[in-house]
A and B are shown apart, each in its own frame.
Chain A
Amino acid sequence: MRDKSRVEVIIFAAIVILLAAIPCVNRDPYLLHILCLIGINIILAASLNAILNIGELNLAQTALMGVGAYASTLLVMRVGVSFWVALPIACMVTAAVSLLLSILTLRFRGAYFLLFTFLFAELVRMLLSNFCIGIFGGIPGLTNVPKPRIDLGGVLQLTFNSKLEFYYLVLVLTALTVLVLRRIDRSRTGRILEAIRQSDSLVESIGISTLKYKVIGVAVGGAFAGVAGSLYAHFVGIITPSDFSVHSVLQPVAYVVVGGMGSVFGPVVGTTFLMVLSHFFLRELGFYELLVYGIIIVLTIRFMPQGLISGPRLVASWIAERRKSLNVVRNDEAT
């Protein structure tokens, strides 16, 4: 068990170092742009997974991302604080909003929870489009969101104007997100969330408040959705309410399902796989792009219901199975 987790950490560190080295080889802005988007989507998909772990699907996850994006943007543009202050505040604001959402909705389960989060997502979109247009910018949203800047007088001055600098920022935050969520997964809290998915009546019977831990799950997910939102806003530079509508939650859901639910690495693998596929390979197909994309998702779910992350395990058990049947044949021949 301990060895396995050490291997995981080593592989993870190796991948981060490799990714950090990419710009030394290739500084193509398109490549870096897509890698940044992949990073932001990994954070979003991983945050969605936190709540999927207790067996509920939060359709408001991208709406929460929108809350983070708007909070961060408004803090920078209207209040005038720096990005480095706005990011953690946006993260906390989103966590607080999702806390509120979860206290109101987690009494419901399954389809009812789904419907309430659906309504919440629509509510956020309508609020942002139609109310306080002077502040939120209405349907056209907010444009020219400033890039982050580090200004330490004479010591260091860094503007994250180019894709290269932003790439490192996204890389660091994505790695941090994965590490923190993995820690939560491995902790007692993670075990309890998993236990709630398996049998919430039993969790309740041994003196643990399932409501409390579900609220924690949603709030943790919300906090990281806020981080993704803040990064997205400052990276793309334009945010509109429709970026965060209910439809947009289907992308991260696909990432999580294809990658594999349950572990943090599932969303990472799924997001990378599907986004690399659609941005680097399927582009050539033009008209047929979405068709092929859909077929690939369906095939993955059909043949790997536990997600891509179960691939190595499937291969291993397939080999073991084959070996066993070969042995049987051999024994038959021997007798």
Chain B
Amino acid sequence: MARRRDALRSLGLAAALTVVAGTIGVALLALTLRSLDQAAGGASLGLGSPYLWRVIGFTLLQAGLSTALAVALGVPVALALARRPAFPGRSALLALFAVPLALPALVAVLGIVVVFGANGWLGRLAAALGLGPPPSIYGLSGILIAHVFFNLPLVARLALAELERIPGESWRLAAELGLTRLGVLRFIEGPVLVAVLPGIAGLVAMLCVASFTVVLTLGGGPRATTVEVAVYQALRFDFAPALAVRLALAQIAICAVLVALLGRLATPEAVGWGPGRRIMRLDGRGRAGLIGDHLVIWLAAAFVLLPLLSVVTAGLGAPIGRLVADPEFLRALATSLLVAVSAGLLSLAIAWPILEVRARLGARRDGRQAARRLLEQVLSLSIVVPPVVVRAGWFVLLLPLGDPARFAPAIVVALNAIMALPFVARVLGPALEAHLNRHDRLAASLGIEGLDRLRLVDWPVLRRPVLLALVMAGLVSLGDLGAIALFGSDRLTTLPFLLYQRMGSYRTNDAAGIALLLLAAALAITLLSGQLGRERRR
């Protein structure tokens, strides 16, 4: 029996890795072999050119700073929220914290400038108070603001999910021992954070490395150029696909080093908790702690919610009624939801075997760490593979089979699923690992197997993380533009596509309305999953 299980597991892992490597590798290979690069094409972009080194330098600088800020600001929010399970509006806030995942970059950028920009709310408030104009956000500061807007909520949510899995016994013990706040941080919260933060920071760093619209639009000028921009440039005006592939590989290689370095910081041993009973926090009862936590939460909420609010106010000025009645909108909404759900499920299906094997490797102490690290790389790096390159590769590959647009839905779903892998890994990975550590042997010794095991042992414990992973993957997919159709049309009209299309034809008002509806859809999905994931009262 055990042998058969192992074989099945290996098969699952092989299938998952094949899907990931196949989708990406085949595309890169196809594009390279096409080698249509013109002689002059991308001379300035050649590997090793000073231009490219500057670009790589800036990419790492902005990604590093963005990540440091997002983690430094997100962790206190997670700690405060964990200490305050009764904070008014807590679950609504957490739902809203998931929304930025689904916002197309352009929408978020416009939302941010309405609040922080030259003509923004803060500037006008400062003027009304007789203060001077606020400093311009265009430049590194604007990039950092936007990246923190996207990632502070992500860090807070992911870290909070881990903090909430600390068993109640720990807190009772802490109270009995009379641990101070510092003591709690050091002995209870600290080990959890140390275990998961490298992974979370890695995800944020990858997201920032792959940032394109945010960096160019808020960067203030071409000094702010990322490798992703160079890839796009190579594919577009310069039309040098092979060069684009090389740049993409360079980006992946740099990120692989980053992930490896971060991996050394992680301490897998610390991930050993399972979900305890309903926990009761006995710490942080003092007035100072209370005020401090509220302040931290409110500040973070304001920072994230104000740009969202500006998206809402802009959208309310749009003819929502006409938009919603437009069959094109309804089709796009249906397409978007369908793609998001499919990508979410596929992402989960790919991630699960990888995560399970990784967890089992982690439990052993026999030098399987190299394999574990390799799987970690697969789960982390998929997000920095420039989707435009993969799309272009598949276009070339499918060209002989007729109009490649016919295959667009499958490609988009597969790509979105792969892009969402790191999110699934961060949410589900630690929970799955803890669960296996705790229940695997017990279940085996009781002879509970197959569907029974899934129903009785796994599902009750993993339902919440599975749902959260699914929601995150779905939201990422919902806001994805589907890797701008560089060469071929899609006939795959999603909401972000519709939004950009209107935006590109002066119809900013319609675009604002669509942005609002997209935001509402994301919020509805999050709230709904929150309801589903709530633990049944006994």
Please indicate whether A and B come from the same complex rather than being unrelated chains: no
